[in-house]
A and B are shown apart, each in its own frame.
Chain A
Amino acid sequence: MRAALGLGGRLLRAGGRRGLLSAGLTAVAVTVCTALLLFAVSANVAFAGRGDREAWRNPVPAKGRAVAVQAVHVDYVRDRRITVVELAALEPGAPPPPGLDRFPAPGEVWLSPALAELADELPADQLADRFAGRRGGTVGDEALVHPGELVAVRGWAPDSPVPAGKGADEPRGEVASTRISDFAGEPTPDAQGYRILALIASVLMAVPLLVFGGAAARLTVARRDQRLAALRLVGATPGQVVAMTAAEAVITAFAGAVAGTLLYVLLIPALTGIEIAGGSWFAADLWPGVPYTLAVLAAVPLLVGLSAVIGLRRVVVGPLGVAKRETPPGMRFVRVAVLLAVLAVVPTLSVGSGGGVIAVVLGLAFLSINLAGPWVVGLIGRITAGTARGPVRLLAGRRLVDDPRAAWRTVSGVALTGFVAGFVVLLNPSADLLGEADASRLRVSIPAARADAVAAEARERLAAAGVRAGTEVTGGGGEGGGKVLVVALGVREAGAPGKAEAGEKAGQGEKTDARVDAPVDAPVDAPVDAALVDRARTALDGLVPGRRATSTADDDRFGRLLIGDIGTGTIVVLTVSFLVAVVSAGITAVSSVLDRRQTYALLRLAGTPLKVLDRARRAETLIPLAVMGGGSIAVGLFCALPFAITGLDAGGLATLLACVLLGFAGVVGAGAVSAPVLRSVTENPAPRPD
């Protein structure tokens, strides 16, 4: 092995300028691959980290002796969510919650840095008054989902109503009082949902990366196969040839992998800016950790070496195989049959199939597109060559038939991006699903017994805060006889909520006539802005212990966030696959020119216009690109059908179209890189195989 490594290294150095160029291209390809692969791995680690940091706010009831009571409420300021954790110690030795250096004493309030900043920034009657009380300290990063998260932790006496009170129905994210023995908690269902989405996204990103890495590996081999065939001819054993090639590929790939890791680390600060689930990331989130990094650093060169060995099989089997360039055996139809078999499974999937199964089927669909690709490219080539009238299409078509795998490598990136685009475009729900939300009507559930008194106090508080609003008490009957106080902001004096639907939604029951001294449908005559809403919220804070005033817009907030996040995720995945596509297109285009430099040069000497060669080279990429790109999008759409939430909407269609156009433009642009290479290799008046 050491001998092989030494020889491989020497082979690398002795390869000359062109040899170094191709090794450099491989290294660049591996660098990009490694960086993106680390990103895909980190995405999973990052979401797992968020889930773990959030777990303490999702308490598990104590099995043994309870030491504290915990409740979690959700409040809003501006358009942002505040998580309010209420804590009361049941005994003196209660452990401090994560992010706090001690258990909060009754009456104490701890704010996260972002919340503290916001509380200072906004007028006190919009936010700070809600968290009046002794400031205990700052909630540390280890207890925050993301750096900008708004979190408050409040300490209570065990017998006070807030932590002890039991809510009838908890809105999303709220947790009723729970007796706990520690702060281990468990990841929330939302966090787990995000982890599944992250897993799907990373599969979508990783598969084209692996394919591309393999292509990069073969690039080293392509440059070497003549020389290696020559080595075989002078008597090197197949084992020696394999070892040397593998060693050369591994050395190159390792250098690329190290560079890729560095590149990724350099990119982390920029990547932390990607907002998902309402916030950006801690830099530490996006560092995959030493074990994963080492695994990637080991796996990438190994995979590249393996791929190189597979690529070399032909040389090893018989030295003349490559040296003489026989007609390659035709692709087998089995490749397409595999794709069809995988696609046949797709309709049996559903949202309920489980993340693992879906990820596996997706990965398989992806891989089988990659398997079927060369076959289809070969078919396209036969058709193109068969129908060609001029030299350009003839050259392009014959080339596709000759080496469909190489041609596929050039377009596979964009084709697979097409698959991703087709897939995610159907999954992207549009915000229209949520309907209109009304931020101007706040609702608080109030005990039925004291409804009138509470409503009166609410009016007093609002008046004191200078908030114009109408109030109305609705609901009652079911669910323990709870009633809902509806506050219509911006309405002169007290007025009833105008729209019947608003009342219905708010009251979750039949609308009562407990209207409070105001004309029906009083017009909203004062502008309702975010500041007013926050003043009203702050005024109503603590009206009923443990209850906050929320609007239907608040109810939709999570849905909107999720829709936005899926959109962001789509863009991230598409950007990654797109980068892979363009880099791989550029590299394969250059390598295909390098591979055939002698023939190109001699053709040019004999008077073949460079333009014809260049157009043939372009057609050789564009024809399969058009067919395969379209085909992959169709397959992607098909695979997404079982999970489709809505039909194609305009935004999704625009994303898809933009993706296709960018992909084409990118590949054409990347292919243009090879034009100067073509020019330079054909300028040599005495071309020789090196």
Chain B
Amino acid sequence: MTSVVLEGYGLTKRFGPATALAGVGLAIGRGEAVAIMGPSGSGKSTLLHCLAGIMKPDEGEVRLLGQRVDTMGERERSALRRTRFGFVFQFGQLLPELPADENVALPLMLGGVSRRDAVRRAREWFGPLGLGGMEERRPGELSGGQAQRVAIARALVTRPAVVFADEPTGALDQTTGHDTMRLLVEATRGGDASLVVVTHDPQVARWCDRTVEVRDGRIMAGVDA
């Protein structure tokens, strides 16, 4: 096994009386793609949010390259998410008024890269993701699959350590979903990033290195590929 990039252990999260996570441990290696599966309401998204520093777990630790994430303040976690992580959500994450290339360039600009360089670097992703010629289209003028590929480009443009994807193809038909998923896995590998993807689709899970099954807030089985 390669070196661990991100790891969480003993992660517990409660929402009032309900326990969404009940002591989960998970380690993600460098360049590894991990699929998280499980029934609805089992705690997949909660696990992803805890690992990504979006939520603070009630108990347990999260470490990125050995550094504690769960103890950081919101500002630091926000900066961490911006610089070291990338995100792909189901839909609705692109700003409708920005053309595709500026949507991708936004995280770079937030990091202080000049607009011209940011847009140039953003455009480099369009060809490989099959988006050539769509640089100036707005999200509303793209198909669902195209919009998700723009989102993938945006997640990867900052060269993050880990990309988190919560049901990234949930809103797409199966064929498009599979194509998009394959691109996501390949692009993260090509970008030397790890991938944590929540999915309901066993086919999608097969492209990943490993699948983790979550049930009632606990990890049931780890299947190494």
A residues with a Cβ closer than 8 A to B are 324-327, 388-391, 394-395, 398-399, 401-403, 598-599, 602-610, 612, 685-687, 689
| A-B CB proximity, top 6 nearest | A607-B82, A607-B81, A402-B97, A325-B140, A602-B93, A391-B109
B96 touches A325 (CB 8 A): yes
User: By the criterion CB–CB under 8 Å, are A391 and B54 in contact?
Assistant: no
Instruction: Pick the contact of A607: B85, B92, B95, B102 (CB < 8 A).
Output: B85
**A residues in contact with B78, CB < 8 Å:** 604, 607-610
The residues of B with any CB-CB pair to A shorter than 8 Å are 45, 49, 52, 54-55, 75, 78-83, 85-87, 89, 92-98, 102, 106-107, 109-110, 114-115, 138-141, 155
Q: B115 near A394 (CB under 8 angstroms)? A: yes
List of A residues within 8 angstroms of B52 by Cβ: 605
Complex contacts, B82 vs chain A, CB 8 Å: 606-609
B residues near A612, Cβ cutoff 8 Å: 110
In the docked arrangement, what's the CA distance between A333 and B93, Å? 33
Q: Is the CB of B139 within 8 A of A325?
A: yes
Chain A residue numbers with a CB within 8 Å of B75 are: 609
> A603 contacts B95, CB within 8 Å?
yes
- Nearest CB on B from A274, distance (A): 45
How near does chain A come to B95, taking the closest CB pair, in angstroms? 6
Q: Decide: B95 and A686 in contact? CB cutoff 8 A.
A: no
Instruction: Report yes or no: A395 in contact with B140, Cβ–Cβ below 8 A.
Output: no
User: Can you report 11 residue pairs joining A to B where beta carbons are below 8 Å apart?
Assistant: A324-B141, A325-B138, A326-B138, A399-B97, A599-B93, A602-B87, A605-B52, A606-B82, A606-B86, A607-B110, A608-B107
Contact of A685 among B54, B93, B115, B141 (CB under 8 A): B54
Nearest A-chain residue to B140, judged by Cβ = A325
A603 to B95, CA, bound (A): 9
With beta carbons under 8 angstroms apart, the residue of A389, A401, A604, A608 that contacts B97 is A401
Report yes or no: B115 in contact with A389, Cβ–Cβ below 8 A: yes
Task: From A395, A608, A686, give the contact of B45 (CB < 8 A).
Answer: A686
B98 pairs with A398, CB closer than 8 A: yes
Q: Is the CB of A398 within 8 A of B95?
A: yes
Chain A residues contacting B138 (CB-CB under 8 Å) are 325-327
- Kindly state the separation between the CA atoms of A605 and B155 in the bound complex, as whole angstroms: 12
Contact A606-B97, Cβ < 8 Å, known A325-B138, A391-B109, A394-B102: no
Q: Given the complex of chains A and B, what is the CA–CA distance between A687 and B92 in angstroms?
A: 10
Known: A327-B141, A602-B87. 11 other contacts (CB 8 A): A325-B139, A326-B138, A326-B141, A390-B115, A394-B98, A398-B95, A398-B98, A603-B93, A606-B87, A607-B80, A607-B85
Contact check, A606 vs B83: say whether CB atoms are below 8 A apart. Answer: no
- B87 close to A599 (CB less than 8 A): no
Using Cβ atoms and an 8 Å threshold, which residues of chain B touch A324?
140-141
With a cutoff of 8 Å between Cβ atoms, the chain A residues found around residue B89 in the complex are 602, 605
Asked if A326 contacts B140 (CB within 8 A), the reply is: yes
- In the bound complex, residues from chain B placing their C-beta under 8 Å from that of A602 are 87, 89, 92-93
Give the Cβ gap from B21 to chain A, nearest Cβ, in Å: 13
| B79 contact set on A, CB distance < 8 A | 607, 609
Contacts of B155 in A (CB 8 A): 606
Known: A326-B141, A599-B95, A599-B96. Is A606-B107 also a contact (CB below 8 A)? yes
A602 to B45 Cα, complex, angstroms? 14
How far does the Cβ of B42 sit from chain A's closest Cβ, in whole Å?
Answer: 14
A588, B49: Cα distance in complex, Å: 32
- Contact: A609 with B110, CB < 8 Å? yes
Q: How far is the CA of A603 from the CA of B82 in the complex (A)?
A: 10
Chain A min CB distance to B105 (Å) = 9
How far apart are the CA atoms of A599 and B49 in the complex, in Å?
17
Residues in chain B near residue A402, CB distance under 8 A:
96-97
Residues on A with C-beta less than 8 A from B115 are 388-390, 394
- Please report the C-alpha to C-alpha distance between residue A394 and residue B95 in the assembled complex, in whole angstroms: 12
Contact of B81 among A388, A390, A399, A605 (CB under 8 A): A605
A605 and B54 in contact (CB under 8 A), knowing A325-B140, A398-B102? yes
Across-interface contacts of B96 in A (CB, < 8 A): 325, 402, 599
A492 to B125, CA, bound (A): 100
Q: Known contacts A599-B92, A685-B54; is A608 also within 8 Å of B110 by CB?
A: yes
B92 touches A689 (CB 8 A): yes
Given A326-B141, A390-B109, A609-B78, A403-B97 contact (CB < 8 Å):
yes
Which residues of chain A are within 8 angstroms of B49 by Cβ–Cβ distance?
A: 685-686
Complex contacts, B110 vs chain A, CB 8 Å = 391, 607-609, 612
Contact residues in B for A394 (Cβ distance below 8 Å): 98, 102, 109, 115
Considering only CB atoms, which chain A residue lies closest to B138 in the complex? A327
Q: How far is the CB of A107 from chain B (nearest CB, A)?
A: 83
Q: For the complex, what is the distance from the CA of A389 to the CA of B61, rounded to whole Å?
A: 39
User: In the assembly, what is the distance between CA of A609 and CA of B93, in Å?
Assistant: 15
Chain B residues contacting A398 (CB-CB under 8 Å) are 95, 97-98, 102
Known: A403-B97, A599-B92, A685-B55. A391 touches B141 (CB 8 A): no
The answer on a CB contact under 8 Å between A606 and B55 is no
Residue of A nearest to B97 (CB): A402
Contacting residues, chain A, for B106 (C-beta < 8 A)? 391, 608
Cα distance A326–B137 in the bound complex, in angstroms: 9
- Which B residues are in CB contact (< 8 Å) with A399? 97
Question: In the complex, how many angstroms separate the beta carbon of A386 from the nearest chain B beta carbon?
Answer: 11
Residue of B nearest to A324 (CB): B140
Residue of A nearest to B94 (CB): A599
Name the distance in Å between A324's Cβ and chain B's nearest Cβ. Answer: 5
Q: Say how far A284's CB is from chain B's closest CB, in angstroms.
A: 53
Which chain B residues border A391 with CB–CB below 8 Å? Answer: 106, 109-110
A485 to B93, CA, bound (A): 88
A553 to B86, CA, bound (A): 79
A435 to B54, CA, bound (A): 72
The distance from the CB of A91 to the nearest CB of chain B, in whole angstroms, is 82
CA distance A604 to B55 in the complex (A): 12
User: Across the two chains, which residue of chain B brings its CB closest to A605?
Assistant: B54
Q: Which residues of B contact A609 (CB under 8 A)?
A: 75, 78-79, 82, 110
Whether the Cβ atoms of A606 and B109 lie closer than 8 Å is no
The answer for the CA separation of A120 and B93 in the assembled complex, in Å, is 78
Question: Which residues of the other chain, B, contact A689 by a CB distance below 8 angstroms?
Answer: 92
Q: CA A327 – CA B87 in complex, angstroms? A: 25
Look across to chain A and name the residue whose beta carbon is closest to the beta carbon of B77.
Answer: A607
A327: contacting residue among B85, B95, B114, B140, CB under 8 A: B140
Cα distance, A363 to B117, chains bound together (Å): 49
